[in-house]
Amino acid sequence: MAIREIRKYPDPVLRQKTDRVETLDAALLRLIDDMVETMHAAPGVGLAANQVGVPLQVAVIDLSSREEKGQRHPLLVLINPEMLSQEGSVTEEEGCLSLPEYTEMVKRASKVKVRAQDRAGKSFELEAEGLLAKALQHEIDHLNGLLFVDRLSALKKDIFKRRYKKVAVQKA
Ligand SMILES: [Zn+2]
């Protein structure tokens, strides 16, 4: 396993719509293991393959450190995830490993249903609320080339662009 470099905004790979995974081979399993290790090291609770520069429909989510309603979610590997349905709405703070030092309130569906394949290639469906619903929407957005800032109002997007430019300049 290896830690891969997390691509940061405005890297164009983050804007790329990822391709469906057709073959589950050793390289794909290695990618998944590396993504899990990279996410844990960051640390983060979710990572999409294009965030490590691979434009494929693969995402990992680990909310096992965050207890919610007395439940802990296991580590999730999502290959070719599809959003089947979305319900309700909730506005909560979000951040992203590709946009360090920036968080904002984002409006999302409160309940989602997703279909994906696991690392053995087995198809499964998942209904989620709360943190997991938020993470699933965030990661599926990544795989479609979207970042959470794309979900902000025009005014907030503008503030983001100006503020983020400043952060980038300070770091350089
Ligand atoms: Zn993200």
Active-site entry in 68, 94, 104, 139: 139
3-state SS class at 54 = coil
Asked if residue 41 lies in contact with residue 47, where contact means CB atoms within 8 angstroms, the answer is no
CA distances from 43 to 11, 37, 96, 170 (A): 20, 9, 11, 23
- How many whole angstroms from 95 Cα to the centroid of ligand 1? 7
Q: Tabulate helix, strand, coil % of the chain (nearest 5).
A: 35, 30, 35
- How many whole angstroms from 149 Cα to the centroid of ligand 1? 10
With tokens 């309130």, the residue in question is 105
Task: Enumerate the β-bridge partners of residue 94.
Answer: 104
Residue-level pLDDT, tens digit, the chain, 172 residues: 899 999 999 999 999 999 999 999 999 999 999 999 999 999 999 999 999 999 999 999 999 988 777 778 899 999 999 999 999 999 999 999 999 989 999 999 999 999 999 999 999 999 999 999 999 999 999 999 999 999 999 999 999 988 877 766 666 5
- How many whole angstroms from 142 Cα to the centroid of ligand 1? 7
**Residue 4 and residue 111: Cα distance in Å, rounded?**
31
What was the pLDDT predicted at 73? 85
**Residue 44 and residue 55: Cα distance in Å, rounded?**
20
Active site residue 139: yes
What was the pLDDT predicted at 168? 66
CA distances from 9 to 16, 51, 164 (A): 12, 9, 9
